[in-house]
Structures are given as structure tokens and as C-alpha cells.
Structure 1
């Protein structure tokens, strides 16, 4: 597994916490807090697009 630099956990209502991370190869990661050994990975641009879409309300129907 590559060396991942994790951000502090982000916790929503009900203590659903996740973490975002990056590596030196330009990959982005997202994992449930405490399960960083099993992250989802994609490019940094894909992670940026995901965050932009969430901020724009495109995932509100999932909440």
C-alpha cells in the first residue's frame, strides 16, 4: 500500500466519519474513519469533482 497522508476525520450527524487522503503519486483516497486500510482510490481530479458535486447538492438525495 502506498504512503497515504490522511486529513482529520470529517464526521456528519450520527457520527458517520470518513477521511480523505492523498499520496505522492497524485492519487486520492476516501475511507471510513478507523478503516483506512480499506480505502477507495481514484485520481485527485475525480475526488475534486466528487466534492464539487456534493457541495452543489447533487448528492442530497442520498442523505
Structure 2
């Protein structure tokens, strides 16, 4: 898991999913597919996880 990034929830429709994410500095933001989070990009949002990509590889973050 990317250090300090936590998935808090997922909402929205299948066409426009959104995820609520806590960043390492404690700030909570809503992100969509294509949103940049630091040096990573949100590549996918499922019902209980998101995929972040950096340098061609993806890493999934799931709801706790």
C-alpha cells in the first residue's frame, strides 16, 4: 500500500465512481479516475478498492 494513503469509502455510479481517500498529511479528498495523488494516478475504482499507478505498475488499496 502506498505509504500513508487510506481508502475511506467509494460512491457514485459505475460511469462516474468516486473514492474518499485520506492522504499522508491527514487531508481527506474525493478522487475520480485520472486524479493525481502525489506521484501516483487513480487508474480504477471498484466497489471496495482503488488502483493507483506509478511508472506502469498498479497497486490496489482496499477498504479496511
TM-score where L is the length of structure 1: 0.36
Which structure has more relative contact order (CA 8 Å, sep 6+)? It is 2
- In our comparison, the structure showing a higher alpha carbon Rg is 1
Give the structure with the higher percent helix. Answer: 1
- Greater share of strand: 2
Q: What is the TM-score normalised by the length of structure 2?
A: 0.36
